[in-house]
Structure 1
Amino acid sequence: MDDRVTNNEPQQDQSLLTANDYLCKILLSPVYEAAVVTPLQPLTKLSQRLGNSILLKREDRQPVHSFKLRGAFNKLVQLSEEQKLRGVVAASAGNHAQGVAMSAKKLGIKAIIVMPVITPEIKVSAVRGFGAEVCLHGDSFDEASNYAKKLSAEEGYTLIPPFDDPDVIAGQGTIARELLEQNGHLDYIFVPVGGGGLAAGIAVYIKQLKPSIKVIGVEPRDSACLRAALDAGEPVTLDRVGIFADGVAVKRIGAETFRLCNEFIDDVITVSSDEICASLKDIFEDTRAIAEPSGALALAGLKKFTELNSVRDKNMAAILSGANVNFHSLRYVSERSEYGEKKEAVLAVTIPERPGAFLKFCELIGNRAVTEFNYRYSNRAAANIFVGLRTPQGTSELATVMKQLEDAEYPVVDLSEDEMAKQHVRYMVGGRPAEALQERLFSFEFPENPGALQNFLLTLGMNWNITLFHYRNHGAAYGRVLTGFELPDGEMKAFSAYLVKLGYQYKEETNNPAYKFFLAH
């Protein structure tokens, strides 16, 4: 949720800034009055596994546990004396907030941080701990951001942008300066991309001094605003963004950050939430550090790039951008990391409903570890079972298992990439209606706070019969609900209009195969 913006205006005329201008700004940046030089740590186990020298730039070791301190301090230190006396305001629910708060304290500047009401208390307390005034406003970042702009206009505070500003970009670019000083033999640098400030700062510096190094941007598959901008040739606004890697959940890349990334980034790769979880596990196993999801994003991209391009014997660095993780979200990470490594699969298997059929299924699975097994009697002909299976050898082993089942006339469908199956259906297997229904299925996201589920149900109203309901929360800022409604065809127009009026993000799941296997009549 941190810095999830739809529009972030640059603070000055970027047409005057050349690549050489940025090089000078980075070299002259006084960020080390607040920030520290962070280690470039080898990942020994992962290096052996991938056949490359993998290095991790530990920005989680900053005083605020994130790289955001660099850009925030460099922006604040450049303000005029009049601006410093008036104070600053920023909107953020995470790392940018802490970077601005600490920088303001260091420089003796009044700081107001506007945060959504749903921001976890641990993040609010961290910002207040740096001496900033916290203003809780709105249920989303957009609402908080608009209020921060209002305060800036009414009170004369200087608005501190999270990424689309030359001084912020230059502050983040000091990481590249350290990288070249710590290892002059790098072949690749992988950088997480949200609004693009970090990627722009690193790329513009690297390409001036050592252009042979490839700079690769990494985005979540469901928040790829840079990829969308590159495809369109200009910044575009995404309809929605994923909420797992909230530190890079940005709907629209900045104008100046896009200009720089478009010119200096070599490639962009996108990864899934499961692949991010797998990289969180890799970081922990090699360093015992716990990164936030956006902090592990670059390493996830490095791993995927290496696999897709068969890269070997190269020196590769990834930026661990932050470690301000909500502790309760780690259960989700633990659960999903094996999927990201392709070492666990979720299958829907149809078996005949006859004595000995289940035993034969177990024999076909062999000595492989079954992580979960869900079954409920449905009819006398066949049964659909939901199976979690450990596959240490990855996709090749999964293909072998599926062929063995199909050869034995046990139809099987791989649900390992089906988000609804992993998020909801696995906990609801067997929940078929006793009679035929004109049922339509929808998934929703809504801001998570005390009473949120009750408020969701109250807002949903009582106009249509709810036939299915599943809610699960992983300590995230947004709750997820899967809901079924009894909807005759003639009522769909009115229901669709009602969903728009509700204002929640939603997606129809009626044709999802997991629903048809385990929940539909």
Structure 2
Amino acid sequence: MEQYTNNSPSDSDNDIDLEMLDDPCCNPNKPVEITFEEITSAAYKIRSGISYTPCIRSHMSRLTGMDIYLKKDFLQQTGSFKERGARYVLLQLTEEQKRNGVIAASLGNHAQAVSYHGYLLGVPVTVVMPIVAPIMKIQKCREYNANVVMEGRNMAEAKRVAYKLAKERGLFYINGYDNPQTIAGQGTIGLEIMEQVDDIDAVVVPTGGGGLLAGVAVAVKTLNPSIKIIGVESERCASYSKAMEESQPIHTDIEGTLADGLAVPQVGYNAWRTSRSLIDRMVVVKEEWIAVAILRFIENEKCVVEGAGACGLAAILAGHLDDFKGKRIVLILSGGNIDTTILGRCLERGLAADGRLVKCKITVSDRPGGISELCKFIGSIGVSIKDIIHERAWVTSDVFSVEVKVVCETRDYNHTVELRDMLHSKYKKVRFDNIPMIELGPPLNSF
């Protein structure tokens, strides 16, 4: 792994380096609008190296009141839809560009896609990944013989490094969401969806830099203009929504998010030009719902989907798409590359947001049998105690009492409410730290 130092340019440096930082394929003054013909050309050229992924009816259709179909593009070799655009760009390179090699900046999925298909096609690949990139994705790039450069606190800084290296070393820079050929490659998902599912009412697309959204919108709207195209993004990286407010791509501050694949600070100029008139709605979802959606996919669909890919279901669970009850919706599951450590945290947070993992504090008698009686009382209704700790020093009002902190796992939200009511009926001092979904929306036990 190479470590490249660029001393993270300051604002004053940016004025000097503007020419260096330009991506020749993404000119803000001359944005390119991707055509349906380009997407069909991409579909023909990449078909030998890309999986034709299934689009099947979801088990959650009955539970949500919608006819949901899942386009499982996380089943690509590297675990995400990014392979489509990466392969198409690599196939379109000149022989000289192939010899010199390519470079990309990415948090992981695009880097893996370029690394893998560069390996298959014999094109040298360098990827610049910010220091916050998931460990699993970094390791995968190394396995595909890519030269991995770890630099930058975020994607914006990683892109600066990649642009500079591209100029210094004569490498072709591949934008992961705004290169016109990348967008055309991503749009092939839309063509497949239209072949696989009839009578679609809406397609829900995870949105970061806008490339997938633009490509899918062109493909779907060209074949059937009546189908609604709905973009969805996390509230912690809502760059497309910000662009809609300003009527142009604009830098947006992003925060750490479960949907790290969507953490792009600015929508691409080509993606914006292509998609802006084709989008019917943009939905922003809370992180809690993304965690619950990841949990739902594991429990109901037996598949592991990363935060970005779970955003479509998160929008449904949060009630943002209730007007599609009784209608047919396709969700694009864009990726499945989630670190196992992050997955563990997601599941715990999903259980907590779902009302199935709760923490409470109960003041009980400190005489022999007091805590034991509490445990038996909780267990009597089938609640599982995951952790318990007692504190005496901070119960100043009664020397014969002890405060017990208990973490419990319940069957569902209603079971949690039963636990709460039962404890209040027996003990005078009971406090729950999280009875969720009161502010987030309706209880999820109905799902």
Do they fold alike, i.e. is TM over 0.5? yes
Letter in 2 for 1:114: V
Q: Which residue of 2 aligns with 1:274?
A: 288
d(CA) in 2 for partners of 1:240, 1:228: 11
1:167 corresponds to: 181
Please list the CA deviations of residues 323-382 of structure 1 after superposition, one character each: whole Å capped at 9, or x if unmatched: 2221222221231222343444445x5758887998699969972625445442213327
Structure 1 residue 266: Cα displacement:
1.8
SS at match of 2:308: helix
Q: Which amino acid aligns with 1:235?
A: P
Taking structure 1 as reference, are residues 384 and 100 closer, same or farther at Cα in structure 2, changes over 3 Å only? same
Question: Pick from 57, 69, 81: which aligns with 1:42?
Answer: 57
- 1:206-227 C-alpha deviation (Å, 9 max, x unpaired): 2222122222222122222222
Q: Larger deviation: 154-163 or 132-141?
A: 132-141
Q: Distance in 2 between matches of 1:395 and 1:271?
A: 24
| Residue of structure 2 in register with 1:51 after alignment | 65
Q: Shift of residue 414 of structure 1?
A: 4.9
How many Å separate the matches in 2 of 1:121 and 1:411? 41
Distance in 2 between the 1:101 and 1:240 partners? Answer: 26
| Residue of 224, 235, 257 corresponding to 1:221 | 235
Secondary structure class of the residue paired with 1:275: helix
Asked if residue 252 in structure 1 is aligned to residue 266 in structure 2, the reply is yes
Contact kept, 8 Å, 1:373 with 1:385, in 2: the verdict is yes
Would the alpha carbon gap of residues 250 and 357 (structure 1) be closer, same or farther in structure 2, given more than 3 Å must change? farther
In structure 2, the residue matched to 1:415 is 434
CA pair 203-345 structure 1, distance change in 2 beyond 3 A: farther
**1:342–1:201 CA distance, 2 compared to 1 (3 A):** farther
Give the Cα separation in 2 of the matches to 1:351 and 1:10.
Answer: 66
- Sequence identity percentage: 30
Cα offset, 1:95, TM superposition: 1.0
Kept after mapping to 2: 8 A contact 1:345/1:389: yes
Contact map agreement 1:279 1:300 (CA 8 A) in 2: yes
Is residue 50 of structure 2 the alignment partner of residue 31 of structure 1? no
- 2:99 aligns to what? 85
Matches within 5 A, 1:371-410: 371=385, 372-377=387-392, 378-381=394-397, 386-390=405-409, 392=411, 394=413, 398=417, 401=420, 405=424, 410=429
Give CA deviations for 1:431-456 in whole Å, capped at 9, x if unaligned.
Answer: xxxxxxxxxxxxxxxxxxxxxxxxxx
User: CA 1:370–1:318 in 2, change beyond 3 Å: closer, same or farther?
Assistant: same
Q: Deviations over 1:171-202 (max 9, x none)?
A: 11110000000012122222111212111211
Which residue of structure 1 lines up, in the alignment, with residue 7 of structure 2? none
Q: CA deviation at 1:143?
A: 3.9
CA distance in 2, matches of 1:10, 1:366: 67
Seen in structure 2, the aligned counterparts of structure 1 residues 408 and 236 have a Cα distance that, compared at 3 Å, is: farther
1:15-52 CA distance string (max 9 Å, x none): 5744xx521111111221321211112222x1222122
Pick which of 251-260 and 403-412 moved more: 403-412
Match status 1:322 vs 2:343? no
Which range is displaced more, 29-38 or 362-371? 362-371
Alpha-carbon distance between aligned partners in 1 of 2:46 and 2:130, rounded to the nearest angstrom: 28
The answer to whether the 8 Å contact 1:93/1:116 transfers is yes
AA in 2 matched with 1:321: S
Q: Is the 8 A contact 1:9 1:254 kept in 2?
A: no
Which residue of the partner structure matches residue 289 of structure 1? Answer: 303
Question: Which residue of 118, 121, 126 maps to 1:104?
Answer: 118
Distance apart, 1:401 and its partner CA: 3.8
The 1:141–1:162 alpha-carbon spacing in structure 2 relative to 1, beyond 3 Å, is same
2:219 corresponding residue in structure 1: 205
Give SS of 2:203's match: strand
Q: Which has the higher contact order (CA 8 A, sep 6+)?
A: 2
1:285 Cα offset (Å): 3.1
Choose 250-259 or 177-186, whichever is displaced more: 250-259
What is the DSSP-based 3-state SS (H/G/I as helix, E as strand, rest coil) of the residue aligned with 2:272? helix
For the 8 Å contact 2:258–2:290, the answer to whether it is kept is no
- What is the number of residues matched between the two proteins? 408
Show CA shifts across 1:371-395 (max 9, x none): 4454422133277665545564537
C-alpha contact 2:257 2:287 (8 A) present in aligned 1: no
Kept after mapping to 1: 8 A contact 2:97/2:171: yes
Deviates more, 1:93-102 or 1:229-238: 229-238
What does 1:48-197 align with in structure 2 at a 5 Å threshold?
48-116=62-130, 119=133, 122-138=136-152, 140-197=154-211
1:369 to 1:411, Cα distance in 2 relative to 1, 3 A: closer
Residue 333, structure 1, aligned to residue 359, structure 2 = no
Question: What residue ranges of structure 2 are gaps of 5+ in the alignment?
Answer: 1-13, 15-20, 438-447
Q: Is the 8 A contact 1:353 1:380 kept in 2?
A: no
RMSD of Structure 2 on Structure 1 (CA): 3.5
* TM-score normalised by structure 1 residue count: 0.68
Distance 2:219 2:112 in 1: 25
**Distance in 1, Cα, partners of 2:276 & 2:323:** 25
Residue 292 of structure 1, CA deviation: 2.2
User: CA 1:225–1:69 in structure 2 vs 1: closer, same or farther (change >3 Å)?
Assistant: same
Aligned to 1:489: none
Aligned pair partner of 2:253 in 239, 242, 259: 239
1:434-449 map, 5 Å: none
SS of the counterpart of 1:217? strand
Q: Tell whether the 8 Å contact from 1:351 to 1:357 is kept in structure 2 after alignment.
A: no
Once residues 211 and 106 of structure 1 are traced to their aligned partners in structure 2, the CA distance between those partners, rounded to angstroms, is 37
